[in-house]
Amino acid sequence: MLDIKFVRENPEIVKQNIRNKFQDSKLGLVDEVIALDLRNREIKKEVEALRAEKNQISKKIGAFMAQGKKEEAEEMKKKVALSAERMEELSAEEKEVEEKILKVMMVIPNIIDPSVPIGKDDSENVEIQKYGDPVVPEFEIPYHTEIMEKFNGIDLDSARKVAGNGFYYLMGDIARLHSAVLAYARDFMINRGFTYCVPPFMIRSNVVTGVMSFAEMDAMMYKIEGEDLYLIGTSEHSMIGKFIDTIIPEEELPKTLTSYSPCFRKEKGAHGLEERGVYRIHQFEKQEMIVVCRPEESKMWFDKLWQNTVDLFRSLDIPVRTLECCSGDLADLKVKSIDVEAWSPRQKKYFEVGSCSNLGDAQARRLKIRVSGKEGKYFAHTLNNTVVAPPRMLIAFLENNLQADGSVKIPEVLQPYMGGMKEIR
């Protein structure tokens, strides 16, 4: 969420940013919120004047009473009553106007970084760099669920009977591999100086609206019926929410946390051919990383975060590439985002396995996450990035480590988490 003062003073910058995100339907919101802001300031000014007048009249009433001038005092009391009535009307209008301002401001997108490429959707994202050599073996790579089924590692039919489409049972060595990847990712991030955390898996509505846009909330979140609680769609929501309505001493920054959690998503819309199996599902587990830092350090941390994911995948012999998300592919709160994509030997292309985002002070402004510095208080910057989300990670892992004889090799770094196993047969 932007600062209303910034919108008031830079309406054309805000409008151009909306155009750059190809959201022209929101252009009228800028003038609307500026008009509402003007009215809000007029109300406050009038209330302040009425309050000052009331204080002056109160003094006069006291003087008239002391002089025995009861009629004059009664006339002054009538004026005070009228002022009080007007102030009550203005207070009600002020509340209404401020609610409208907040509603509009929650929809106006954040200002994107100047380095973000301009484009309508993810088809116009820009490749930055490739890491590792993508290999297509001479033997055929089966679909990932077929690989799992050969090890009796997945049961989709039973899951459909129990929970419907978009769920799965992982079994045996595949289930163990799933847990091993998460445990390795946890230790990988701890070794990079991040504090490990297991967060709440449900959050209140004020946290939901603090960390994401209304459109994302509707498309992603499962609501707990009868309670002000939502199942988290990704663990950075409750991780960032940890700092809601806090003032952090500047010397305690940065806050660097890595978290494990299950995640739950509606996944609305058509999924397409390559989203069968466990590619896009309603329930998965994830290792995440978040940073709360000073504004001048957010660019540095952004680069560190996506590099962590690249390094982890490369340590497991999985080729990856990084993509700069274009303006039209950025969620409204994001300033800048980079996707990490893993190589799929079967599809002969890369697919998304993680996303790193810098949200500037947008989440901090909504959640009131402030920093106490030498020159006063200011809003922190927040960032997040996927370490691994095993369903997609498993696809990349199995395809890139599948051998011609049907076995799956276990990279050396993962072997301790698999009980010393060097391959799955």
Q: Which residue in the block uniquely carries the two structure tokens 């116009």?
A: 124
Q: 294 with 253: CB under 8 angstroms? A: yes
Could you tell me where in the chain the CATH 1.10.287.40 domains are found?
A: 4-105
Which three-class secondary structure string do you get for the chain?
A: CCCHHHHHHCHHHHHHHHHHCCCHHHHHHHHHHHHHHHHHHHHHHHHHHHHHHHHHHHHHHHHHHHCCCHHHHHHHHHHHHHHHHHHHHHHHHHHHHHHHHHHHHCCCCCCCCCCCCCCCCHHHCEEEEEECCCCCCCCCCCCHHHHHHHCCCEEHHHHHHHHCCCCCEECHHHHHHHHHHHHHHHHHHHCCCCEEECCCCEECHHHHHHHCCHHHHHHHCEECCCCCCEECCCCHHHHHHCCCCEEEEHHHCCEEEEEEEEEECCCCCCCCHHHCCCCCCCEEEEEEEEEEECHHHHHHHHHHHHHHHHHHHHHCCCCEEEEECCHHHCCCCCCEEEEEEEEECCCCEEEEEEEEEECCCHHHHHHCEEEEECCEEEECEEEEEEEECHHHHHHHHHHHHECCCCCEECCHHHHHHHCCCCEEC
pLDDT of residue 70: 77
Confidence of residue 276 (pLDDT cuts 50, 70, 90): low
Summarize pLDDT for 201-225 with one digit per residue, the tens: 999 999 999 998 777 777 789 999 9
pLDDT of residue 115: 97
pLDDT of residue 273: 39
Nearest 5°: phi and psi at 26? Answer: -95, -5
Lowest average pLDDT, out of 168-172, 220-224, 227-231, 320-324, goes to 220-224
Fold classified for 4-105: Helix Hairpins (1.10.287)
Residue 293 has pLDDT above 90, yes or no: yes
Lowest average pLDDT, out of 27-36, 120-129, 157-166, 412-421, goes to 157-166
Confidence of residue 268 (pLDDT cuts 50, 70, 90): low
Percentage of residues in the chain having pLDDT higher than 90: 81
Is this prediction's pTM over 0.85? yes
Q: What is the mean pLDDT of residues 299-315?
A: 97
- 144 or 59: which carries more pLDDT confidence? 144
Q: Which residue in the block uniquely carries the two structure tokens 């910034």?
A: 6
Summarize pLDDT for 45-78 with one digit per residue, the tens: 999 998 888 888 877 777 777 788 878 777 788 8
Domain 122-424 CATH (choose: 3.90.1170.50, 3.40.50.720, 3.30.930.10, 3.40.50.300): 3.30.930.10
Which residues, 6+ apart, have CB-to-CB distance to 363 below 8 Å? 210, 211, 240, 333, 369, 382
Residue 269 has pLDDT above 70, yes or no: no
In the predicted model, what is the mean pLDDT of the chain? 93
Could you tell me where in the chain the CATH 3.30.930.10 domains are found?
A: 122-424
Residue 274 has pLDDT above 80, yes or no: no
Highest mean pLDDT among 145-154, 205-214, 274-283 belongs to: 145-154
Residue 19 has pLDDT above 50, yes or no: yes
Residue 317 has pLDDT above 80, yes or no: yes
pLDDT of residue 235: 87
Nearest 5°: phi and psi at 403? Answer: -100, 165
pLDDT of residue 52: 87
| Residue whose C-alpha is closest to residue 398's, from 167, 188, 187, 177 | 177
Confidence of residue 272 (pLDDT cuts 50, 70, 90): very low
d(CA 144, CA 124): 28
